[in-house]
């Protein structure tokens, strides 16, 4: 599977998630006492944002789906990466995620070299 076939989608996922987090932080900064609206007893606002992002992609990919995905990616310049890749690929490129979950530097979810375009 050629990962360059999903490059546009990967870029959009990265940029969109960064923009959404930036917008959330901007909105919270303007709204008095809004921090508590997005916080649970267990998680911070940033953690809740990333949990929500990951939850959006929760699924159980069947073998048939994975085979179809591979076939599409092998024969098309427009394919979709697996949900796990879409989530982990995005958040592992974000310093905010590493800070929110205290990921050690050079761990799988906090590589020292990150891809950041914006």
- Domain containing 96: what range? 3-100
The pLDDT value given to residue 74: 80
Q: Does 15 map to a domain?
A: yes
Asked whether the beta carbons of 45 and 38 are under 8 A apart, the reply is yes
Single pTM value for the model: 0.84
**Number of domains observed in the structure of the chain:** 1
Whether 82 is in a domain gets the answer yes
SS3 117: coil
- Domain-located, residue 110: no
- CB pairs under 8 A, 24+ apart, for 41-45? 44/100
Sequential pLDDT tens for the chain (118 residues): 556 777 888 888 999 999 999 999 998 888 766 555 666 789 988 999 999 999 999 999 999 988 988 888 888 777 788 889 889 999 999 999 999 999 999 999 999 999 877 6
According to the model, what pLDDT value does residue 112 have? Answer: 95
Query: In this structure, are residues 53 and 14 in contact, taking their beta carbons and an 8 Å threshold?
Result: no
Residue 111 lies in a domain: no
Q: Which residues contact 96 (CB under 8 A, 6 or more apart)?
A: 21, 46
Domain-located, residue 61: yes
For residues 14 and 85, the answer to whether their CB atoms sit within 8 Å is no
| Predicted local confidence at residue 3, as pLDDT | 63
Count of CB atoms situated within 10 Å of the CB of 100: 20
**Is 105 contained in some domain?**
no
Model pLDDT, residue 37: 63
Residue 91 host element (H or E): helix 83-91
Q: Is residue 62 part of a domain?
A: yes
Would residue 8 count as lying in a domain? yes
């Amino acid at each position: 599977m050629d990962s360059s076939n999903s490059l546009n989608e990967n870029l959009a996922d990265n940029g969109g998630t960064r923009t959404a987090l930036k917008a959330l932080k901007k909105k919270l900064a303007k709204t008095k006492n809004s921090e508590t609206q997005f916080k649970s007893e267990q998680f911070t606002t940033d953690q809740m944002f990333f949990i929500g992002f990951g939850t959006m992609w929760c699924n159980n990919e069947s073998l048939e789906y994975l085979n179809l995905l591979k076939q599409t990616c092998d024969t098309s310049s427009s394919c979709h990466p697996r949900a796990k890749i879409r989530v982990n690929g995005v958040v592992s490129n974000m310093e905010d995620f590493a800070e929110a979950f205290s990921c050690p530097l050079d761990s799988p979810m906090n590589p020292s070299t990150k891809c950041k375009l914006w």
